[in-house]
Amino acid sequence: MIPGIRVCAGIVEEMLRHARNEPRIECCGLLAGRDHAITAIFPAKNALASATTYEIAPQELFQLFRRMRSEGLDHMGIYHSHPAGENAPSPRDIEQAYYPHEAYFIISPEPSAPRAVRAFSIRDGLVEELEIEIVTQ
């Protein structure tokens, strides 16, 4: 059985919207929730403004985590887009997977992508695709 991650439908739509609104750079952000389901999205600015990599500036990252905490949410994932190419973890994505217990979502902004939203577990250099279970809030 493939492990899965539960995500509210609106969150998936927000990730897609963010990626499509910034089609030339990797968009990025954090995902949070409670009761084992992602219920909140925290879009961030790609401090590198790059088409091939992303970084959330430390100060913004701190503010997002503070906001999550104040809203009583658990950090559950990170998302970013791959404007060109497959939405699977790149070697850099794997190398910089600093949150081994969170899900990594990779979004394709291409409307024709067969699976525009994919999620992965990345731990100690090992990548496992997660099944995304869409839930209602």
- Domain residue extents for the chain: 6-135
Torsion angle, CA of 62/68/73/74, rounded to 10 degrees?
-20
Between the two ends of the chain, the Cα-to-Cα distance in Å is: 25
Q: Which single residue is written with the structure tokens 């559950």?
A: 76
Which CATH number is 6-135 given?
Answer: 3.40.140.10
Q: What is the pLDDT along the chain (137 residues), one digit of tens a residue?
A: 457 899 999 999 999 999 999 999 999 999 999 988 999 999 999 999 999 999 999 999 999 999 999 999 999 999 999 998 899 999 999 999 999 999 999 999 988 888 999 999 999 999 999 999 999 86
- Residues with catalytic roles: 26
| Contact call for residues 87 and 111 (beta carbons, < 8 A) | no
Query: What pairs with residue 7 in β-bridges?
Result: 38, 134
CB count in 10 Å sphere of residue 21: 10
pLDDT of residue 84: 86
pLDDT of residue 127: 97
